[in-house]
Structure 1
Amino acid sequence: MVIVSVSSYQFQVGGKRGWIKPTGKQTATYNDWAAENRFHVGDTVYFKYQNDTVLLVNKEDYENCIISTPISKFEDGNTVFRFDRYGFFYFISGQPGHCKAGQKLIIRVMVHPEVEPPETAASPKAGGGSSGGKGWDSDFWGPPGLSSATKLSVASYFMNALEGMFVILYLFM
């Protein structure tokens, strides 16, 4: 059995205080906290709360604090949300008035930059005549080797496929 570590991180929203309605005494908002972190596909955010809900909403509902049409609603008090794509995710409290008081959060999940393959160079030619071998084709040395960019690309695809298998296994456990 091969064990491969897939790097992901769990962030606790609001730190020790958790997901609560701001009282006005806090100097930092949830979005200030999010701006200090880098989120990637596979990372999770943990919302700890009491007598509240977490709503995943679209941008318009986020901006206007509309709680009636969430994409997803969580109300268990210990919500772990996994980012399955890059882009923006909008969260608001489902309690009336909490969003307008500042209990809202935008998280931008980063795109991993693609590796640009280096330009290929012409294959070196063997310096004719020094080998002295009769009938030897000095231009043929077998198939070309993989470049480091190709190896990295193959490894990246393998890791993504492996992560997908872990997610599927997790869902069926």
Structure 2
Amino acid sequence: MILLGCYSATIYKVGDSDGWTAKDDVYYRWTERKEFHVGDYLVFQYDHNFNNVTQVSRALESQFCDSSFPIVVYNTGHDVITLTKPGSYFFITSNYTQCSSGQKLEVLVVHDPSRPVPPPPSQVLPLEKIYKVGDSKGWRVYDSNYYYRWSQKKEFHVGNNLLFEYGQELNDVLEISGNLEFLYCDPASPAAVHKTGCDLVRLTNQEFISSKPGHCEAGLKLQVVVGPTTDFPKMLPMDGLTRWSRTLTSHHH
């Protein structure tokens, strides 16, 4: 499957049937049987109420379960992480006890342009439908109402996915969990942070902003209402316009 020109990839569910949990040596044995390439995806599944995925930059941080200076922290319970460049990736949980019990993963990623990329197995990540956020505009500052209008033209359902494309050095994607955080563009306590430039996010009910100064205030924010079935009612247009106008008004005070 080609993800809208972003990547063609193999998708690996971390730990297979074990998922992301505290089990001694399970992830070392799991990686031994696989070869990871640039553009592949890792899927971490776990209970987000008790766990997370913390990417650290060095082997020593992984070895000693040091989560003090993470690259990225994910805690959605279904994290899809793109392997964007060659080299070693280190993932731990910030729960020290669980990390010390074996909940850590090291992945060596290689780049082979000649390698044919197989389609991702649907049993790992059911890609029912992928929406590229912003369509041809991608994820960038465009105008204050653009992403509101974009979302209103779509019907999102459980199992759908959002694909955020943007310049990795210029932007990021923060999943936030509260209406006030969305309203006031507050990046202080995100549920997850994505910054690969090609982020695939599985949908529940979610709100997204950019943490870059001025971007969210200029309209780079997205609220997605997800229906469980095809007859799930969308947000009423007047309700949506009222909420959005309040958001815009708040930026001028």
| TM-score bracket for this pair, using the shorter chain length | 0.5 to 0.7
Q: 1:18-167 to 2 correspondence within 5 Å?
A: 18-22=19-23, 28-50=25-47, 51-59=50-58, 60-112=60-112
Structure 1 residue runs of 5 or longer lacking an equivalent are 115-165
CA apart distance, 1:41: 0.7
User: Aligned AA for 1:14?
Assistant: G
**Cα deviations across residues 98-124 of structure 1 (Å, max 9, x unaligned)?**
11111100000112168xxxxxxxxxx
User: Using the alignment, how far apart are the partners of 2:53 and 2:10 within structure 1?
Assistant: 20
Cα separation, partners in 2 of 1:91 and 1:4, compared to 1, 3 Å: closer
Q: Give the TM-score of the pair, scaled to structure 2.
A: 0.41
More strand by share: 2
Q: Tell which deviates more after alignment, 76-85 or 61-70.
A: 61-70
Aligned-residue sequence identity (percent) comes to 28
Residues matched between the structures, number? 116
In the other structure, the counterpart of 1:15 is 16
User: Using the alignment, how far apart are the partners of 2:54 and 2:108 within structure 1?
Assistant: 16
User: Aligned AA for 2:17?
Assistant: K
CA apart distance, 1:35: 1.6
User: Using the alignment, how far apart are the partners of 1:95 and 1:19 within structure 2?
Assistant: 12
User: Aligned AA for 2:28?
Assistant: N
CA apart distance, 1:64: 1.3
User: Using the alignment, how far apart are the partners of 2:38 and 2:7 within structure 1?
Assistant: 11
CA apart distance, 1:8: 1.0
CA apart distance, 1:171: 1.5
Q: Secondary structure at the match of 2:97?
A: coil
**Cα deviations across residues 20-46 of structure 1 (Å, max 9, x unaligned)?**
112x5xxx5202101211111110000
User: Aligned AA for 2:82?
Assistant: R
User: Aligned AA for 1:32?
Assistant: R
User: Using the alignment, how far apart are the partners of 1:72 and 1:29 within structure 2?
Assistant: 23
Cα separation, partners in 2 of 1:69 and 1:16, compared to 1, 3 Å: same
Structure 2 residue runs of 5 or longer lacking an equivalent are 115-135, 140-162, 166-221, 223-253
User: Aligned AA for 1:56?
Assistant: Q
Q: Once superposed, which parts of structure 1, at least 4 consecutive aligned residues long, lie more than 4 Å away?
A: 3-6
In the other structure, the counterpart of 2:227 is none
In the other structure, the counterpart of 1:141 is none
The structure number with the bigger radius of gyration is: 1
CA apart distance, 1:62: 0.8
